[in-house]
C-alpha cells in the first residue's frame, strides 16, 4: 500500500509553473508525499521571479547579502547604511586602482 502511493507520486506528480505568489501560499500535508511540484524554465528564471516577488513584500527595512561574511545583513538604521556606504566606497577605490593598472598594461 505504501509502496504503491510512493510510485503514484513518483511517476504522476502534479506539476505547475513556478510562480512565487502561488508557491508561497500552497499548503502541503506533512503526513503525505509532496502532491505538487513547481517547475521553472531555468534557475535564472526562478531567481528572477523570486526576487521580483520578494520586492512586493512590504517591510520597513532592506536586506543585502554580504558575500565576504556569507550573511544576510539587515539595513534598518543610519549607522548600518553609513557602514555600507564606506564599504562600497572602499570597493570602488579598489576597482578604480585595478582599472588603472589594467589600462597601463593594455597601452
Q: What is the pLDDT of residues 37-96, one digit of tens each?
A: 999 999 999 999 999 999 999 999 999 998 889 999 999 999 999 999 999 999 999 999
Q: Which three cell numbers stand for residue 88?
A: 562600497
Q: Would the pLDDT of 6 be above 90?
A: no
Q: Could you give the CA distance from residue 14 to residue 34 in angstroms, rounded to a whole number?
A: 9
Please list the residues that pair with 38 across neighbouring strands.
16
More confident: 68 or 20: 20
At 31 the pLDDT is 83
Long-range contacts of 30-37, Cβ-Cβ distance < 8 Å, separation of 24 or more: 33/5, 33/6, 33/9, 34/9, 35/9, 37/13
At 38 the pLDDT is 93
Q: Which three cell numbers stand for residue 3?
A: 509502496
Q: What is the per-residue DSSP string for 14-54?
A: EEEE--HHHHTT----TTS---EEEE-S-HHHHHHHHHHHH
At 20 the pLDDT is 96
At 106 the pLDDT is 66
Q: Which three cell numbers stand for residue 14?
A: 502534479
- R_g (Cα) of the chain, nearest Å: 23
Amino acid at each position: 500500500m505504501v509502496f504503491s502511493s510512493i510510485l503514484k507520486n513518483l511517476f504522476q506528480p502534479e506539476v505547475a509553473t513556478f510562480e512565487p505568489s502561488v508557491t508561497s501560499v500552497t499548503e502541503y500535508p506533512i503526513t503525505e508525499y509532496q502532491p505538487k511540484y513547481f517547475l521553472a524554465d531555468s534557475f535564472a528564471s526562478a531567481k528572477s521571479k523570486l526576487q521580483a516577488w520578494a520586492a512586493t513584500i512590504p517591510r520597513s527595512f532592506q536586506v543585502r547579502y554580504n558575500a565576504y561574511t556569507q550573511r544576510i545583513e539587515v539595513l534598518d538604521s543610519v549607522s548600518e547604511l553609513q557602514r555600507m556606504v564606506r564599504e562600497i566606497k572602499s570597493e570602488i577605490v579598489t576597482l578604480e586602482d585595478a582599472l588603472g593598472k589594467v589600462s597601463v598594461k593594455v597601452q
